[in-house]
């Protein structure tokens, strides 16, 4: 199977099979600060950010379970708030409230100091689609991270 996928999916061929932990070939430690964040913790940070966006939206737009159109509008606003939190947080500081709470940070693999709003926007849009974020390589990077040249690391 790896022979077949190796022809179209970079990083899935035999040259990576000797890798012992996610991020090893990028020179990252196996565990602790600076290691690649696990998928479960990354998902939990996403949930925390979505809950915060929903709570922030509910302050401005109250719940109205009897009006489906109002609920749809509220959900769209919650998504917009999540996008703003994610793009501003990751683009300027490298983290969102959920990532900060759980000890993670998004960094560029080329060593630049900030991710930047354009890369953060691309990453957030692909995260919103969910499929690219769910497909990870042997380094623990989702397709959204590979697309914009980032990796999510543990900060503690």
**Using one digit for the tens of pLDDT, what is the confidence trace for 55-89?**
999 888 777 777 778 788 888 999 999 999 999 99
Closest CA to 24 of 35, 32, 15: 35
Q: Is the pLDDT of residue 2 over 80?
A: no
The answer to the question of residue 88 being in a domain is yes
If residue 1 lies in a helix (H) or strand (E), which one and from where to where? none
pTM above 0.75, yes or no: yes
Q: Is the pLDDT of residue 8 over 50?
A: no
The answer to the question of residue 132 being in a domain is yes
Domains held by the chain: number: 1
The answer to the question of residue 28 being in a domain is yes
The answer to the question of residue 79 being in a domain is yes
Give the distance from CA 138 to its chain's centroid.
16
Residue given tokens 């690219």 in the structure block:
132
Boundaries of domain holding 145? 24-154
- CA distances from residue 115 to 27, 93, 101 in whole angstroms, order as listed: 19, 8, 19
Whole-number pLDDT of residue 99 = 96
- CA distances from residue 137 to 6, 21, 23, 88, 118 in whole angstroms, order as listed: 12, 11, 10, 26, 23
């Amino acid at each position: 199977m790896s022979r077949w996928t190796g022809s179209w999916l970079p990083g899935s061929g035999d040259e990576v099979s000797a890798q012992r932990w996610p991020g090893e070939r990028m020179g990252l430690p196996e565990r602790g600060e600076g290691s690649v964040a696990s998928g479960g913790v990354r998902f939990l940070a996403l949930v925390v950010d979505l809950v915060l966006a929903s709570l922030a939206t509910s302050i401005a737009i109250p719940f109205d379970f009897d009006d489906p159109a109002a609920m749809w509008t509220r959900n769209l606003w919650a998504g917009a708030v999540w996008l703003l939190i994610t793009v501003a947080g990751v683009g300027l500081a490298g983290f969102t409230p959920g990532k900060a709470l759980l000890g993670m940070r998004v960094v560029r693999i080329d060593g630049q100091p900030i991710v930047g709003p354009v890369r953060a926007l691309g990453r957030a849009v692909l995260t919103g689609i969910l499929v690219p974020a769910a497909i990870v390589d042997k380094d623990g990077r989702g397709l959204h991270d590979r697309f914009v040249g980032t990796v999510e690391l543990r900060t503690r």
